[in-house]
Chains A and B, each alone.
Chain A
Amino acid sequence: MINKKAHLVKDLFSEKIEKVPTRNGYGEGLVEAGKKNKDVVALCADLTDSTRTKMFKDKFPERFIEIGVAEQNLVTVASGMAAVGKIPFVSSYGAFSPGRNWEQIRTTICYNDRPVNIGGAHTGVSVGPDGATHQILEDIAIMRALPNMIVIAPCDYHESRKATAAAAENGKPTYIRFAREKTPVFTTKMTPFQIGRAEVFRMGKRVTIVACGPLVYEALMAAEEVDGEVIDCHTVKPIDQDTILMSAKKTGRVVTVEEHQITGGLGGAVAELLVEQHPVPMRRVGVRDRFGESGEPDELLQKFGLKAKNIVAAAKELF
C-alpha cells in the first residue's frame, strides 16, 4: 500500500508517467539556492550543459566559474572559495569528480571542513552508449568512506531539486549523484525531504526494499508483486538507522537496490547496519564487481539485472 504521506503521483504506474532526468532537478535546485543566497556559486569542469550547471550560469553569470578539464582544481578552488564565505557547488561527471579528485576532496574539503557541494552527474550504467569509463559505479563507496561527507542519491527530478537546495543550507561537505537519462517523476513537490531521513514510500509486510536513485521506481513496481515495504534511502550517509531497522524488524527480510557496486554502496551500508543491530536475511541488487559497457540505458539495466523483475527474484530468494 502506497504511503499517502509520501505524496507520490496519483497514476504511479501509468505508462504515460512524466520522465525527466534527475540532473535537471540539480540545475533547478542550483538556481533556487542561488536566488535564496547570494553566496552560492557554481563551478564547472567543461560540462556546463550536460550537468545542467548552465541553468545557474544563465541566471547568475557573475557567480559561475569555468574551471576547464581540471577536476582537482575544481574542488580545490571551491575549497578556497568556501574559506572566504562562499557556498560552492562543483559539477562534473561522477567518474571525474569525485572519481579523479578524491584526495583533494578528502584533505581540502572533508578534513578541512569546508561546505563544498559536489554534484556528480552521469552515474550508473544507465549513462548508456558512452560506456564504462563514464558510468561511475563506485562514487557512493568512495564518498561514504570519508568523515564529514554527506552522500545523497536522489530518486527523481523533484527529489534532486530538493536535495540540491537543502545542500546549500546544511553547511557540510555534501555529495549528490545524478543520472543522465530521463527517469520517472513519481514524487511531487509535496513529498517530504530531509537530508538524513529516509522516506517509506510503500508499506508492505513481507520484505523491506531499501533503494536509492531512480531505481526506487523499479523497487515500487517490484513491491506490488511481493508485498514489499519500499524505503527511499536518498541519504546513504548518514544512513537513517531508525527507519531501516524498524522496517527490518517488521518484515524480517531486506533487499537493497542501487545502480552502483554492491560493495561499499547502499547495499554495503545497509548490511553494516543490519549485521550489527538486527541481522536478517538479505539480498543486494546492484552491480556485482564489474564495469559497465556501451548500450542503450534500458538494455544495460536489463543486462545488469537492475529491473523490477530482478528485485522480485531477489526478494523471492528470501521467502
Chain B
Amino acid sequence: MTIEELQDKANAIREDLIKMLVEAGSGHSAGPLGMADVFTALYFGGLVKYDPKNPKWEERDYVVLSNGHICPILYVAMAHAGFFPTKELMTLRKLGTRLQGHPHRTALPGLETTSGPLGSGTSQAAGMAYALRMDEKKNRVFVLQSDGEQDAGNTWEGVMFAGKYRLSNLTAIMDRNNIQIDGNTEDIMPLEPLKEKYEAFNWHVIEIDGHNIEQVIDAVNEADAIAEKPTLVLAHTIPGKGVEFMEKDFAWHGKPPMGPGEAMQALEDIHNLRTLGGKIVSEHE
C-alpha cells in the first residue's frame, strides 16, 4: 500500500473501532484511536510477517500487546488482516465472544499472549526473543507498550533483561500519549526522560510522531537494522486521535462513545478525516 492508502486504511480501522465500541457499550477509546496509525503500519505496511490462514506459521513475527486494554485496535487490525470476519468485531466483550474485554490468547487464534494486568508484556516478549535467538530463528518480536505501564516495576525488569542480553530481535513500540486512567502521566508519576532512561538500559531509542505512518515504517525498519541492542520506538501519539472531543482528554481513556449522539459525532469526525484525503493532521509534524 502507498502511504495515502495506509492513511485511508487507518481511518477505515478507526470507523470500525468506534462502531465496535458503541456496540460493546464499554471498553477503551482513547488508546485504540491513538494507536490506529501504528497498528495500520504494522499490519498493512509490510512490517509484521503473518499469515491469517495459518496463525501459528513458524516464520511469523510475534506481536505482544502488553497494554491489553487497547485490544480493540488489535482486534480491528486483525479482522482487517483476515484473521476473522469483521462482523465478529460486534461481539466485543459479549458473552461467549472470542474478543474478550482484555485479550485472551487461547480464545482467539493469532493472539500471542493473554494480557491486561500492565507491565508484563515486555518481559514475555523478551523471553520469546531470547528463546528464538537460542534456536537461531529469524522471527522478530514486537511488544506494544503504554506509557502508563512504565510505572510498573515489571516493565523495567524486562527492559533491564533485554538490555543485558542485547536482544536485537526485540522491538518495543511505546504509545506515548501522556494519559493514564487517573490523569496525565507526568502528574500521576513522572516518566521523563524516557528516551534517556531506555538508553541507559542499553536500548536504541527512536522518537517518532505516531500518526506519521512513514515515520513508523522507517523506525521499525531502522530497529531491524540495529544488530546489537533492542530498540524502543517512542511513538508520540494523541489519545483519541481522529475524534475531536476525545483527543487529549484522559476521561476517554476507559470508556466508549455512549448513545447515538456521541457515536455519530465520532464517526463524522473520522469521515471528515477521510474526505480530507485521509490525512491525519498531527501536531507533532
Contact = CB atoms under 8 A, between A and B. Distances in A.
B116 A107 contact: yes
Interface stretch (B151-159, B214-222, B228-236, B260-268): B151-159
Interface residues of B, number: 32
A61 interface: no
Contacts of A274: none
Contact of A70 (B128, B132, B157): B157
A80 B63 CA distance: 12
Interface stretch (A22-30, A71-79, A123-131, A184-192): A71-79
Contacts of A103: 117
For the side of the interface on A, what is the size category?
20 to 34
A83 B157 contact: no
Interface in A81-100: 81-86
B160 interface: yes
Contact of B131 (A70, A72, A80): A80
Interface in B180-200: none
Nearest to B132: A84
A261 B120 CA distance: 30
B114 A111 contact: yes
B106 A112 contact: yes
Interface in B87-141: 104-106, 112-117, 119-120, 123-132, 134-135, 137
B115 to A, nearest CB: 7
Contacts, number: 96
A103 B123 CA distance: 14
A108 B66 CA distance: 11
B170 to A, nearest CB: 10
Contact of A76 (B120, B132, B134): B120
A47 interface: no
Interface in B145-175: 153-154, 157-158, 160-161
- Consensus secondary structure, chain A interface: helix
Nearest to A76: B123
Contacts of B105: 112-113
B120 A86 contact: no
B131 A76 contact: no
Given A78-B127, A80-B129, A80-B130, 9 more contacts: A77-B123, A80-B128, A81-B130, A83-B124, A84-B131, A104-B117, A108-B113, A111-B114, A112-B114
24 contacts: A41-B131, A70-B161, A72-B119, A73-B158, A76-B120, A76-B154, A77-B123, A77-B124, A77-B126, A79-B113, A79-B127, A80-B124, A80-B125, A82-B127, A83-B62, A83-B112, A83-B113, A83-B131, A86-B131, A107-B120, A108-B113, A111-B114, A112-B106, A113-B106
Interface of A: 41, 62-63, 65, 67-68, 70, 72-73, 76-86, 103-104, 107-108, 111-113
